């Protein structure tokens, strides 16, 4: 054993390099802190991006994309495991936290210094850093145009969602990493900036334990993967630790380390049901970015929008009723995928497994309200797509055949889909370490400092107090930026 008294000591140690971690690294390095970031995944260049989904799942996704959320209905969940985290594989869709939720969070969780005006500069910072913008109708691909046609036919309120992207050329590789560097994942946007400011990123480095002494974290035990498959268990001492490992890994690490108060008790997701629509016209959805419009008519309970499309994913979506649907595969050029997502009023937990590797055990139970909303959402979406010119709509529901008429669709406005037949996925998870001054329900204070620990902070999706009903990246980065500014002010920078 080497002499551990010469342990590496850093001022600020950040665990995770996703939306929250990269933001924190940038802000604090800019303020003059010495920063080291530990990232479990590997660093990838643009040449590693844009490959097939099967390759991307191996390289960029946690558990090769196989992370089920258990419950009466298992829900497929994906998150990134690479430098840049889930921002490397998401759509880049951008929202600001709606004022309604801002007020609700403030009331329920006791957030201080929390208002639309106070958050404005933080959103602006993030939007500038990530080149957030709209494409405009002139740049809409066919899958968006048909969606717009349906929205206009139904006279619903909708908007083009802004994206963290610059110069998108429709490679349709958002979920496999953008090889053009157009989508502004952290590896393209903030991490190079952080490195220019002196931040050191250690990849292949998984934190096993936070070392606690009284009410302080003294450092971490981390496992660094070496070439050839061997690994070193190292100790890194730190003055301050920011845990930004994501909504499932952050609470798991905290719980493994004995920090459990309101940690992992309030796992929230946006359950999502996909459908595939078959049109007479050529859509070529596999050659364009996913649909850019989101229907706001039924928000916040129900959100409708477009989904990633590839031939393989089409087969995935038709798999539930494969015998009836497989003949449609040859028509993939005339098809596009859409989703209905609900805000999620059920509840779940994240726990560290006692047996095995201590990895997260994810549980979530859909509420009856969720199932009703999904059913209604399916009815609305199907009706809209038929109005847009779709010949058939294929929902990801076992035993439910294609929907070919409005009559077949509206049935689900009044009936609930059979729970056990639903094939659900989610890419949004949060609220596992909710922030706020309410010590009876929050794991961290209004600025992410973990209650009861002097120098430990949470600054990622897990700090969102509740489900925001929108793509969360914007909110995560703005709140992280706000918290980092506050931290810097508190520590004289």
Partner 1 sequence: MVKDDKPPEGRSPLASLVKSKGAVVACGFIISIFLLVMTARKIAWSEAADAFSHATWLPWLPLAVAVYLVGMLLRGLRLKQLVSMEAKITVLTASNIVCVGYATNNILPARLGEFARAGMLAERTGLPYALALTVTFLERLLDGLTILCIFVVASLIIPTQEWMHQAAELAGVIFAVAIAFILLLAFAPQHSLMLASQLSAPLGRKWHDRAIALITQVTRGLSCLHDANTTLAVLSTSFFVWVLEGLMYALVMPCFAIPFSPVKAQAVMALTNLGILVPSSPGYVGLYHFICAKALQAVTGQNGLPQFFAMGFLMPNMGFINQHFLQEASKVVSETTALSYAVAVHLVFYVTVTVWGVIAMARYGLELGTTAALAWQAKPMQPLPPESAAERLSVITSVAAVNGKGRQYIQPAPFWPALAEAILPASNLPLSAEESSRCLQFAADFICDELSHLPQNLKPLVKIGITGFRTVTALTCLAPFEKLSLAKRRGVVDAWSYGRISITRKFFKPIRSVALLAFYECPEVQAALDRLATPEAPAVVSEDQEKVGRVNE
Catalytic residues: 428
Centre a 10 Å sphere on the Cβ of residue 323 and count the other Cβ atoms it contains: 6
Residue 236 or 379: the one with the smaller Cβ distance to partner 1 is: 236
Q: What SS3 state is found at 331?
A: helix
Shortest Å, Cβ 205 to partner 1: 8
DSSP letter string, 126-189: HHHHTTEE---GGG--HHHHHHHHHHHHHT--EEEPEEEBSS------GGG--TTS-B--TTTT
Beta bridge partners of 163: 93, 133
Cβ 217 to partner 1 shortest distance, Å: 12
Task: Please provide the DSSP assignment of 298-327 as one string.
Answer: TTTTEEEEE----HHHHHHHHGGGHHHHGG
Q: Please classify residue 68 by burial: count the beta carbons closer than 10 Å to its beta carbon, then call 0-12 exposed, 13-18 middle and 19+ buried.
A: exposed
Strand partners, 294: 159, 305
Q: Which 3 state secondary structure label does DSSP give 422?
A: strand
Per DSSP, the three-state class of 199 is coil
266 in Cβ contact with 347 (< 8 Å)? yes
Minimum CB distance to partner 1 smaller for 1 or for 107: 1
The smaller minimum CB distance to partner 1, of residues 107 and 226, is found at 226
Q: How far is CA 66 from CA 53, 352, 427, in A?
A: 13, 17, 12
- Smallest gap from residue 294 Cβ to partner 1 (A): 26
Q: Closer CB to partner 1, residue 352 or residue 381?
A: 352
Distance CA 459, CA 19 (A): 9
Shortest distance (Å) from residue 312 CB to partner 1: 4
CA separation for the pair 482, 487 (Å, rounded): 9
C-alpha 303: how far from its chain's center?
Answer: 16
Closest to partner 1 by CB, 143 or 473? 143
Q: How far is the CB of 386 from partner 1 (least distance, A)?
A: 23
Which residue, 174, 171, 241, 176, is CA-closest to 207? 241
Instruction: Identify which of residues 19 and 220 has a Cβ nearer to partner 1 in the complex.
Output: 220
Please state the length of the chain: 493
What is d(CA 373, CA 359) in angstroms, rounded to the nearest whole number? 32
The crossing angle, in degrees rounded to 10, of helices 142-154 and 368-387 is 100
Nearest distance from residue 252's CB to partner 1, in Å?
Answer: 10
Residue closer to partner 1 by CB (options 68, 99) is 68
Task: Give the shortest CB-317-to-partner 1 separation in angstroms.
Answer: 9
Q: Report the C-alpha gap between 226 and 210 in whole angstroms.
A: 22
User: How near is the Cβ of 169 to partner 1 at its closest, in Å?
Assistant: 21
Angle at 460 between CA 467 and CA 205, to 5 degrees: 140
Q: Quick one: 295 or 314, whose CB is closer to partner 1? A: 314
Are 83 and 111 a contacting pair, CB within 8 Å?
Answer: no
Nearer to partner 1, 157 or 326 (CB): 326
Strand locations in 357-459 (E): 360-365, 390-395, 424-426, 429-430, 456-458
Shortest gap between Cβ of 476 and partner 1 (angstroms)?
24
> b vs e for 186-213, b when ≥16 Cβ sit within 10 Å of the residue's Cβ?
bbbbbbebbeebebebbbbbbbebbbee
């Amino acid at each position: 054993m080497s002499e551990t008294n010469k342990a590496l000591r850093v001022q600020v140690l950040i665990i995770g390099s996703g939306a929250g971690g990269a933001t924190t690294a940038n802000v604090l390095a800019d303020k003059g802190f010495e920063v080291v970031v530990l990232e479990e995944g590997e660093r990838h260049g643009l040449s590693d991006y844009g490959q097939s989904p099967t390759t991307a799942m191996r390289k960029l996704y946690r558990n090769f994309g196989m992370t089920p959320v258990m419950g009466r209905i298992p829900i497929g969940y994906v998150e990134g495991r690479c430098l840049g985290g889930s921002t490397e594989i998401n759509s880049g869709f951008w929202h600001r936290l709606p004022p309604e939720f801002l007020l609700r969070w403030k009331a329920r969780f006791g957030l201080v210094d929390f208002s639309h005006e106070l958050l404005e500069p933080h959103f602006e910072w993030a939007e500038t850093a990530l080149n957030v913008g709209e494409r405009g109708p002139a740049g809409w691909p066919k899958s968006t145009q048909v969606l717009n046609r349906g929205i206009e036919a139904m006279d619903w309120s909708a908007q083009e969602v802004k994206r963290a992207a610059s110069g998108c050329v429709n490679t349709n590789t958002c979920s496999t990493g953008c090889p053009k560097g157009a989508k502004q994942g952290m590896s393209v946007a903030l991490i190079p900036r952080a490195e220019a400011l002196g931040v050191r990123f250690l990849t292949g480095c998984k934190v096993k334990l936070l070392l606690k002494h009284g009410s302080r974290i003294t450092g971490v035990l981390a496992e660094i993967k070496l070439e050839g498959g061997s690994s070193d268990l190292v100790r890194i001492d730190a003055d301050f630790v920011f845990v930004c490992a994501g909504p499932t890994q952050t609470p798991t690490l905290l719980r493994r380390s004995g920090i459990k108060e309101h940690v992992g008790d309030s796992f929230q997701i946006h359950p999502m049901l996909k459908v595939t629509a078959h049109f007479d016209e050529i859509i070529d959805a596999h050659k364009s970015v996913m649909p850019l419009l989101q229907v706001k008519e039924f928000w916040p309970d129900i959100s409708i929008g477009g989904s990633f499309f590839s031939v393989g994913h089409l087969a995935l979506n038709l798999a539930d009723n494969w015998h009836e649907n497989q003949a449609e595969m040859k028509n993939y050029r005339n098809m596009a995928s859409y989703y209905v997502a609900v805000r999620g009023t059920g509840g779940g937990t994240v726990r560290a497994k006692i047996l095995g590797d201590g990895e997260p055990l994810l549980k979530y139970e859909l509420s009856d309200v969720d199932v009703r909303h999904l059913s209604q959402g399916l009815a609305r979406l199907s009706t809209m797509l038929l109005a847009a010119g779709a010949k058939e709509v294929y929902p990801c529901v076992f035993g439910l055949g294609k929907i070919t008429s409005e009559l077949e669709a509206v049935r689900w406005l009044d009936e609930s889909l059979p729970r056990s037949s639903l094939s659900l996925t989610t890419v949004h998870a949060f609220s596992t370490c909710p922030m706020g001054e309410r010590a009876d329900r929050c794991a961290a204070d209004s600025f992410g400092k973990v209650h009861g620990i002097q120098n430990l902070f949470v600054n990622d999706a897990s700090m969102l107090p509740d489900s925001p009903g929108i793509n969360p990246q914007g909110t995560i980065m703005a709140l992280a930026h706000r918290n980092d500014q506050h931290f810097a002010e508190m520590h004289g920078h």
